[in-house]
Structure 1
């Protein structure tokens, strides 16, 4: 029975294969040369095969081990090989050889990477601290408009225009604005509508006296009921308080602000809703008995308001609007007839 054919013999020439594996005429020669029985011949031939086979495996192991450092070095050289390959291809693109570049997946990948916009703050989600910083910027801006009004109405309007351009998103997104104390045009989408509410002076909005200039505020604070953030859009809702310079009294308004992140990372306003807190008249008529402390507090508020109106008139500010606010706050015209006897 013939000996199995070794896979190692396939790669050898015929003469070597006969020498290592004992096949062909060499097998006949060995049988004649060795003499004796078949069993003795096969045993000697197997011994020669096993010896040669072991030597062959040893040579393969030596070769593989000698290649191991070269293979590890190849991984270290791989980035250089990629760069060396990409440089001629990139040069081909620059020289106008589009056919070569079109056939190269590497150049196509480089082109896609170059076409991607750089990552910046414009793709970063909005954080709650940023919303609070935007609210502070709005409050500081309103106070600055009021300070400019001491110079002139024109200076205040110019400051208001710069304020709106800096904090609102007109020209980038639609801006929805609903100011408090506005009846003829309560819903506004234009830049001029916001400026008019803050500093007045626009013929399109005749009822606007200028929120930032009709009263002399010296402090604005917020009480956020909640801040909701969804990626690049944020909403804030709550109460804002405006403190009067002369009396120290605070005017309370309710607000909703919407912010989006503009190019460059700055937050811009795209929603601004402001309103006066609602008063339930039915509950007011069913209130408890009036106390003496409440009467004294109402008298003090009346006196402070008269002094405040006089100070506004002396400074040349919008004292008429302050007078209207005083009447709406102190007198009960919303509830029914009011009996009034003037001194003069």
Structure 2
């Protein structure tokens, strides 16, 4: 079985970053392919953060790079509602997002991205693209080291920025509704 190292996790994040920015010099706005590449690279980044943590590396730096790569906090408002947030439901700042991914400043945060996960699988319900904005919705599945999947519902709002990069400006995720028996 392949066991990721800190080096391979950092390399995976670098490759993921390149995939997000591939073809971003095209003036035509977002495409389905760019949205899919961003989502795939985002999932690979989550796996990489957990691998860095497992190997004893600087997982906070890996998470910072992930947020800088995939979220538009430096460019304006980001609407982020993480799955496992209830006391501080919305993470409108970079530092609040970092706390959610790796633990830290907010008491309820256990470090979602350091679980670790071995893969993220996507089932897209649909994508709507209008010029430089896209919205995608569906389910993503986080594969645990024990081999089980955690199903989560997601909505991503993605903007193509002036420099051509595509970044998340809206991220909402939640666990599926489970009716009381």
Equivalent residue, structure 2, for 1:272: 171
1:187 and 2:87 equivalent?
Answer: no
Cα distance in 2 for residues equivalent to 1:235 and 1:121: 21
Match of 2:55 among 151, 154, 164: 151
2:13 alignment partner in structure 1 = none
- Match of 2:155? 256
Equivalent-residue separation in structure 2 for 1:185 and 1:195 (angstroms)? 13
Length-normalised TM-score, structure 2: 0.83
Could you say which structure has the higher helix fraction?
A: 1
Matches within 5 A, 1:50-61: none
The CA distance in 1 between the partners of 2:54 and 2:120, in whole Å, is: 19
**What are the superposed Cα offsets for residues 179-216 of structure 1, whole Å, 9 maximum, x if unpaired?**
11211110121011111111112x2x111001111x22
1:206 matches 2:107: yes
Q: Please give the per-residue CA displacement for 1:238-287, whole angstroms capped at 9, x wherever unaligned.
A: 000011112x1100000000100113311011000010101111xx3xxx
Among 126, 135, 160, the residue aligned to 1:235 = 135
User: Aligned with 1:278: secondary structure?
Assistant: coil
Instruction: Tell me by how many angstroms 1:173 deviates.
Output: 2.2
Conserved? CA contact 1:122–1:261, under 8 Å: no
The Cα RMSD (Å) is 1.5
Counterpart CA distance in 1 for 2:143 and 2:66 is 20
**What secondary structure does 1:121 align onto?**
coil
Distance in structure 1 (CA, Å) of the matches to 2:162 and 2:55: 34
CA contact (8 A) 1:157 1:200 kept: no
Higher relative contact order (CA 8 A, sep 6+): 2
In 2, the alpha carbon distance for the partners of 1:160 and 1:122 equals: 28
How many residues in Structure 1 have an aligned counterpart in Structure 2?
Answer: 158
Residues 178 and 188 of structure 1 are in contact (CA less than 8 Å); yes or no, is this contact kept in structure 2?
yes
TM superposition score normalised by structure 1: 0.44
Structure 2 residue ranges without an equivalent (≥5): 1-23
Corresponding position of 1:292 = none
Q: Give me the whole-angstrom Cα distance separating, in 2, the residues matched to 1:233 and 1:160.
A: 25
Name the residue aligned to 2:36: 132
Q: In structure 2, what is the equivalent of residue 169 of structure 1?
A: 72
Q: Could you list the per-position Cα deviations for residues 311-330 of structure 1 after superposition, in whole angstroms to 9, with x for gaps in the alignment?
A: xxxxxxxxxxxxxxxxxxxx
Question: 1:122 Cα shift?
Answer: 6.7
In structure 1, list runs of 5 or more residues that go unmatched. 1-119, 285-344
Cα pair distance change 1:129/1:189, threshold 3 Å: same
